[in-house]
């Protein structure tokens, strides 16, 4: 598909009626007892998630996103009683997530600010303690980015990292469509059991159904696993407000893959299954990074990012293996053990996939970019899949049930 055709797609063609009672406000008590819709070769059937090992072929490679949701919402109370919410979105200085989290004096983030009109002071302070040790955290607006602010955080007790401060005083962000505040139990239920790398403001919810028992069953079937990182941004909940996709700007997200993981994907000759839209977008972005390297072997690491419409400008003559080999050789030449890049890639119907044969994913909002991705993967049968799920009382969205969809 060319770029003009992709940009001309109308979001209204990817709509369905989602009653509020179908939206799961809370997870099931046992993660793996959720329903699992299975779609393959046009056939739809129902299972429970704990049966997923029956549906994954032996020797398959399953890709997981190991990002961890951070306590990104900070609430500063002014002397007047007004509350200002500062929602940390992405690190700005230092720009690399881990470096930013490890700061012990100051750092800068791109943030959404709630009640911003009431923040007239130069700075806001929050006093608290960690294990009896007093800390004063100061937030200062640096620059208005139009819808977001650069906010500098500084604190007076340098025994603690910014990550440790967030863990103590921040609140876990949960999706706005749940229409409730986060609760203490969300700290556990809104994280995957394999979450490791801090940075997301939303969970890769397809993975919420997996348990240690699930992984044991997959291992017993000789199913291989690998992990990538994509830090999910708040833009994942941003509605498409334009009539066509040409008017929608995808948010930037950071991806990271170890050389070992890229080698696993390169060496794999069995079905490749991605867990969630974030894992899919990560491995597909990897293909276009390889194309960039083939076209410019000396390209700077900072220039490897994938833009929104880039896939629709590439002619597709580069094979998937060839692209991965270019990435591996590039990393070897530079002594890189990990690849970190930005991606804004958007996947819409007509997109040509390069790696996955199946995706495990939840059910997504109407008229969303995530639903467009599912429509790209399942073709026109996406509506059959969603009609079936609605008629069979599947639970929808982040805390809802799951599906395993094989590509048409």
Predicted local confidence at residue 107, as pLDDT:
98
Give every strand in the sheet of 35-40, ordered side by side: 43-48, 35-40, 402-406, 358-362, 272-275, 61-65, 224-230, 253-258, 338-343
The DSSP string of 156-221 is: S-TTS-HHHHHHHH-B----GGG-S---TTHHHHTS-TT--EEEESS--GGGGG--HHHHHHHHHT
Domain ranges, ordered by start, for the chain: 3-68+188-406, 71-171
Q: How far is CA 26 from the centre of its chain?
A: 20
For residue 222, what pLDDT is reported? 98
* Cα–Cα distance measured from residue 334 to residue 330, given in angstroms and rounded to the nearest whole number: 6
Closest CA to 110 of 70, 55, 72: 72
Q: In this structure, are residues 342 and 369 in contact, taking their beta carbons and an 8 Å threshold?
A: no
pTM score of the predicted model: 0.95
Provide the residue-wise pLDDT of the chain in tens; the chain has 408 residues.
788 999 999 999 999 999 999 999 999 999 999 999 999 999 999 999 999 999 999 999 999 999 999 999 999 999 899 999 999 999 999 999 999 999 999 999 999 999 988 999 889 999 999 999 999 999 999 999 988 999 999 999 999 999 999 999 999 999 989 999 999 999 999 999 999 999 999 999 999 999 999 999 999 999 999 999 999 987 776 789 999 999 999 988 999 999 999 999 999 999 999 999 999 999 999 999 999 999 999 999 999 999 999 999 887 789 999 999 999 999 999 999 999 999 999 999 999 999 999 999 999 999 999 999 999 999 999 999 999 999 999 999 999 999 999 998
CATH superfamily for 3-68+188-406 is QueA-like (3.40.1780.10)
pLDDT attached to residue 8? 96
19 CB contacts (<8 Å, ≥6 apart)?
none
Per DSSP, helices labelled H in 310-406 are 320-334, 369-378, 382-391
Q: Decide: 361 and 405 in contact? Cβ < 8 Å.
A: yes
């Amino acid at each position: 598909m060319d770029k003009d055709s992709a940009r001309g797609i109308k979001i209204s063609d990817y709509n369905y009626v989602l009653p509020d009672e179908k939206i799961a406000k809370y997870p099931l008590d046992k993660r793996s007892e959720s329903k699992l819709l299975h779609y393959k070769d046009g056939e739809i059937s129902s299972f429970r998630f704990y049966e997923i090992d029956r549906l994954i072929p032996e020797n398959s490679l399953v890709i997981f996103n190991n990002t961890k949701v951070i306590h990104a919402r900070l609430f500063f109370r002014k002397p007047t009683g007004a509350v200002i919410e500062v929602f940390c979105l992405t690190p700005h200085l230092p720009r690399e997530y881990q470096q930013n989290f490890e700061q012990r004096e100051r750092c800068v983030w791109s943030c959404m600010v709630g009640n911003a009109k009431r923040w007239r002071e130069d700075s806001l302070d929050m006093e608290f303690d960690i294990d009896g040790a007093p800390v004063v955290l100061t937030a200062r607006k640096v620059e208005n980015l139009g819808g977001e602010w650069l906010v500098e955080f500084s604190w007076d007790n340098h025994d603690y990292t910014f990550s440790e401060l967030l863990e103590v005083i921040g609140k876990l962000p949960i999706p706005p469509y749940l229409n409730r505040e986060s609760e203490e139990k969300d700290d556990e239920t809104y994280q995957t059991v394999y979450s490791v790398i801090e940075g997301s403001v939303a969970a890769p919810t397809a993975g919420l159904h997996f348990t240690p028992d699930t992984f044991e069953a997959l291992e017993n079937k000789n199913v291989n696993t690998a992990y990538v990182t994509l830090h999910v941004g708040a833009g994942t909940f941003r509605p498409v407000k334009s009539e066509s996709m040409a008017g929608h700007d995808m948010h930037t997200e950071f991806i990271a893959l170890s050389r070992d993981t890229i080698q696993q994907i390169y060496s794999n000759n069995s079905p490749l299954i991605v867990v969630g839209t974030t894992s899919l977008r990560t491995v597909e972005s990897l293909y276009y990074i390889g194309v960039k390297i083939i076209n410019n072997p000396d390209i700077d690491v900072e220039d490897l990012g994938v833009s929104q419409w880039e896939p629709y400008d590439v002619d597709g003559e580069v094979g998937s293996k060839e692209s991965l080999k270019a990435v591996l050789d590039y990393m070897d030449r530079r002594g890189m053990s990990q690849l970190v890049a930005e991606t804004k890639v958007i996947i819409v119907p007509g997109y040509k996939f390069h790696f996955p044969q199946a995706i495990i994913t939840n059910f997504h909002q109407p008229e969303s970019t995530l639903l467009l991705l599912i429509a790209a993967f399942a073709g026109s049968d996406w509506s059959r899949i969603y009609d079936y799920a609605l008629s069979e009382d599947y639970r929808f969205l982040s805390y809802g049930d799951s599906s395993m969809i094989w590509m048409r």
